[in-house]
Chains A and B, each alone.
Chain A
């Protein structure tokens, strides 16, 4: 492979992907229209590298592509059987860790976790379901916080800090007890400054934060992933459909 200094690129699954200085492998791939599975990455927010779905293999090592800086020497593998098997296990763990009741969930069809499960041919939970007891927070007039669905991706945490300049959310607890906290004296969402128009209220990939009066308004066939896979549609919120 020859290196073109003016138009640098790296190899992703054998295909050349151009990048610009400072871009990560994830950013360059998405810009080029190549999809790498992910849940905690958002192009407008700082990369987090926590969900590990975007793992790729390069130089016999696994990297989170959302934090791996692109360079012209990279030969990256993403769509391999071994990596997708790992991704599937990650998604299965996310499912069994929470209480994801897809059949009646308002976010079904819009949910990126559900769409990722379809993408990775997940047919069952594989691991033991933990059925955790998680506190729900209905204290906010416009927004329902359903911690059963939360995957601790911290997109809302980052959106509130980086985009809304509010710091409404944080993660508390440790290990399996890790949970989303509302940063108010009472710990209730209703006592924070979260507004229904905030980015933080409109970024959750799994419907843990739901806008009350929007529930079930969108028919199933009009939902983001009703007919199109997440690898073709990308990680989109309902309002971001063209």
Chain B
């Protein structure tokens, strides 16, 4: 039966949202004057990793669950690795093993952030949110900003080379074992990686300066665009320094006050719950103490840069201070500031890689620790898109009996919906729908760099379809986009 409050409304569907990792769609309910009645960001793919790993031996987890994603597999590899360390009873890795994992994670975060900024986000930022749809792609960036685009490709490549050196492959390698790593680096590999790292730091800094300039060039617009103020959640190390690999959970309220600090992530089930909604395969996590309505929070680069007290690399720390100083608020909330924060992190990763490459431990053979088997393990890591939880239980025969993953994008679900609603109300409402106009909504979603494949633990086609339906469900207009025919309006 139709909801009486939705009678005489039209539905607009953006399906799928493009230049994000994975598949999602946006639906807008409009009245006859094109005023927004409701806006939702749906995740439409179902994968079910949490179920099909049941029964498998736990040491397979880092290898299997990394297949969730082709962009940030290392995050899943490492988070699962941290969880199975616990299953193997190892609470502390050997220093060389931990350093290799950290280096691996920096390489991964650097390449993922470079991919997002240069390939996915830069067309919006360089050409404008409502620019010609034919212009909004990496190809146009290469044509008009060749030097920038090539540096972006090279930064990403460098991150992938770090991953390959440690895991044997750029994507879906194999390195993490329960209690350690399966190989050290060779001096030749380190020598090779050292050749380009100075350029990588310089180019990443250039990109950071560019994104800062773009953000500040229209600060009035950018600070209010898609705004969805909330608490921030991330890991910080024991003295509050930015740490992507390990630490305690810190939650800052929207006003900048600290709600929880150094919270032991092993107790995350007492902190966070996930709400299921019938219209999306992506769950909605919330802070238990605040409930589902107001307990939502954000994760990712913006959360981390807002939450940490310092960054332990020189350039990134100075850009962090500059970032916080630009705003009069206690915290920087605008979603578009994600791009700025993301590049501060990319610079941090590049600097941290340079420093780590001088550490002789990387070539050490002391890679494994053993312990007494445990039946439950929880691994948490700061993936490029935010805090990532992997939680497993096993039986006495080492087989997985329970798996729960809260991936970064899931934590940003409510925030993305809030941003979609805000942008739809501000920019779409009352205007005739065009692909350029609808891109405003996608710009808001892209700021969060969502990985929808991960979030539903999707593969398939990437066309865009927008449908206008009247209140009885009849199609009154249809727009489609495909790689073959471009954008068509029927």
**Given A103-B172, A219-B174, A221-B168, A138-B397 contact (CB < 8 Å):** yes
- Contact among B57, B60, B63, B182 with A218 in the assembled complex (CB-CB below 8 Å): B182
Tell me whether A219 and B182 are in contact (CB under 8 A). yes
- Is B177 an interface residue, CB under 8 A from the partner? yes
Chain A residues with Cβ below 8 Å from B56 are 136
Question: Is B183 in the interface zone, CB < 8 Å from A?
Answer: yes
Residues of B within 8 Å of A104, CB to CB, are 60, 63-64, 67
Bound-complex Cα distance A44 to B59 (A): 32
User: Is residue B173 contacting chain A, with contact meaning CB distance below 8 A?
Assistant: yes
Partner of B399, one of A103, A138, A215, A220: A138
Chain A's closest residue to B177 (CB) is: A216
A-B contact count (CB 8 A): 43
- In whole angstroms, how far apart are the Cα atoms of A72 and B191 in the complex? 59
Which of A104, A217, A219, A220 has the most CB atoms of chain B within a 10 A radius of its CB? Answer: A104
Asked whether A106 is an interface residue with its Cβ less than 8 Å from the other chain, the reply is yes
Quick check: is A212 within 8 A (CB to CB) of the other chain? yes
Query: Closest CB-CB distance, B55 to chain A, in whole Å?
Result: 6
Q: Are B57 and A220 in contact (CB under 8 A)?
A: no
Q: Please give, as numbers and ranges, the residues of chain A lying within 8 Å of B398 by CB-CB distance.
A: 138, 144, 212
| Inter-subunit contact A219/B60 (CB<8 Å) | no
A236 to B203, CA, bound (A): 47
B57 touches A216 (CB 8 A): no
Expressed in whole angstroms, the minimum distance between the Cβ of A111 and any Cβ of chain B is 14
B59–A212 contact, CB under 8 A?
Answer: yes
Contact residues in B for A221 (Cβ distance below 8 Å) = 168
Q: Is A79 at the interface (CB under 8 A from chain B)?
A: no
- Total contacting residues, chain A, CB less than 8 A: 15
A220 and B397 contact, CB distance less than 8 A: no
Q: How far is the CB of A215 from chain B (nearest CB, A)?
A: 5
Task: Report if B6 contacts A (CB, 8 A).
Answer: no
A interface footprint on B25-64 (CB within 8 Å = 1, 0 otherwise):
0000000000000000000000000000001110110011
Contact B60 A215 (CB under 8 A): yes
What B residues does A219 contact at CB under 8 A?
Answer: 168, 174-175, 182-183
B399 A216 Cβ-Cβ under 8 A: no
A135 to chain B, nearest CB (A): 9
Chain B contacts of A178 at CB under 8 A?
Answer: none
Whether A216 lies near B55 (C-beta < 8 A) is no
A139/B397 in contact, CB under 8 A: yes
Whether A106 pairs with B182 at a CB distance below 8 angstroms is no
B145 within 8 A of A: no
Taking CB atoms, residues of chain B closer than 8 Å to A212 are: 57, 59, 398
| B57 engages A138 (CB within 8 Å) | yes
Chain A residues with CB under 8 Å of B182's CB are 216-219
The distance in angstroms between the C-alpha atoms of A138 and B64, with both chains bound, is 18
C-alpha gap A139/B397 in the complex (Å): 6
CB of A216 within 8 A of CB of B172, answer no
Please report the C-alpha to C-alpha distance between residue A216 and residue B368 in the assembled complex, in whole angstroms. 13
Is B355 close to A, CB under 8 A?
no
Nearest Cβ distance between residue B374 and chain A, in whole angstroms? 16
C-alpha spacing A241/B332, complex, angstroms? 58
* A217-B177 in contact (CB<8A): yes
**B63 adjacent to A220 (CB under 8 Å):** no
In the bound complex, how far is the Cα of B57 from the Cα of A219, in angstroms?
19
Point out residues on B near A: beta carbons under 8 Å: 55-57, 59-60, 63-64, 67, 168-169, 172-175, 177, 182-183, 397-399
Query: A residues engaging B (CB < 8 A)?
Result: 103-104, 106, 136, 138-139, 144, 212, 215-221
The 5 closest A-B pairs by CB, nearest first: A138-B397, A220-B168, A104-B63, A104-B64, A215-B59
Q: List 17 A-B contacts (CB under 8 A).
A: A104-B60, A104-B67, A136-B56, A138-B57, A144-B57, A212-B57, A212-B59, A212-B398, A215-B60, A215-B177, A216-B59, A216-B63, A216-B174, A217-B177, A218-B182, A220-B168, A221-B168
